[in-house]
Amino acid sequence: MERGRGRMLPLLAFHAASEYYRLDRKPPVTACLLAANTVIYLRPGFLHSILPPIDEVWFNAHLILKHRDLKRFFLSAFYHVGESHLVYNMMSLLWKGIQLETSMGSAEFASMVTALLGMSQGITLLLAKSLLLFFDYERPYYSEFSVGFSGVLFAMKVVLNSQSENYSYVHGVVVPARYAAWAELILIQMFVPGVSFLGHLGGILAGLLYLRLKSRYSGSDPLTLIFRGLAGALSWPVRIVKGLFRSPRRRISGRGNVGRDRTGRTASDRWRCQTCTYDNSGWLSICEMCGANRNDNGFSPHQVSNHSRDLPVDELRRRRMERFGR
């Protein structure tokens, strides 16, 4: 397939920019994955000496096992044979990545993508070798050359739709969402020539394996902890710069530890009054709106002061509206 820079890349850029513009929280990992795949495809001049050519990174089970070529194992997922191949995969990544990253958090999403990449490539390699050993399928699978992010995308589709009870359109066919990846695997294999059946199947199996492992382990996996640590280390210069331009806070004088009262509460420990539902500062033990007392666990008790007990509910609401309206 001829590699040209036509009109599809600007369309991808415009679509990605419009999607990110409407989001309150911008998912950074999805943006980095989009940028990495696109930059590798465009191969700007300053990266020519760093990025290997596509001929050296094709996923091929025979070459990977013969030469133990980890470069082909990992980098092949980030290479694409043409502009339409790239744009189709990146549109799918944008849609799936935004939903998954905003729901699970950037660190866990990065951990998941890393795990799915390794598992999908590993399962594809295992399938190709197994078909050779047990069925002597060498030419169609063991010697197949493939590239692209599709395997990871199929795995992400399995994770995204795993708990869905809705229906989904797959190339015009309505299927239950949890089976959408299987339907897409069959339809693409039937109507799109030259695609990697094992690569897509390996992605689906990787998604199922990830869900199975995740259901047995409720805590944060080691990769998530690593990515959280990296994110914290990379963000501290930004926090320092923000701190330099932040307006100075009001100083609090007096005896004792600054920032805490004798019970260990801080000003950021806000509590909600059960009488009028007003959110009070952690420094206060009496509701600033209605005068109700705060108990030890951070909520106001049913026994309130005489002043607040005599006030009807409508009066409490009116005072709260006046306070917020100032």
Cα dihedral 149, 151, 152, 158 sign: positive
Q: Is 252 inside a domain boundary? A: no
| Mean pLDDT, rounded, of the chain | 81
Domain tally for the chain? 1
Which H or E element spans position 279?
strand 279-280
Q: Is 316 inside a domain boundary? A: no
Q: Is 185 inside a domain boundary? A: yes
Q: Is 254 inside a domain boundary? A: no
Known active-site residue 150: yes
Active-site choice (150, 168, 196, 300): 150
* pLDDT tens, position by position, 118-159: 999 999 999 999 998 888 876 778 888 999 999 999 999 999
Q: Is 182 inside a domain boundary? A: yes
Q: Is 325 inside a domain boundary? A: no
Known active-site residue 200: yes
pLDDT at 244: 67
- Reported as a pLDDT band with limits 50, 70 and 90, residue 311 is low
Percent of residues, the chain, with pLDDT higher than 70: 72
Distances (CA, A) of 245 to 174, 241, 248: 54, 7, 9
Task: Say if CB 117 and CB 203 are below 8 A apart.
Answer: no
Q: Which domain holds residue 123?
A: 8-223
Active-site choice (80, 106, 200, 308): 200
Task: Report how far residue 70's alpha carbon sits from residue 177's, in angstroms, rounded to the nearest whole number.
Answer: 34
Q: Is the pTM of this model over 0.75?
A: no
Q: Looking at per-residue confidence, does 233 or 128 come out higher?
A: 128
Q: Is 296 inside a domain boundary? A: no
Q: Is 247 inside a domain boundary? A: no
In sequence order, the 6+-apart residues with CB closer than 8 A to the CB of 308 are: 275, 287, 290, 291, 292, 316
* CATH, residue 58: 1.20.1540.10
In sequence order, the 6+-apart residues with CB closer than 8 A to the CB of 267 are: 259, 281, 282, 283
Distances (CA, A) of 74 to 46, 68, 69, 122, 177: 22, 12, 9, 10, 29
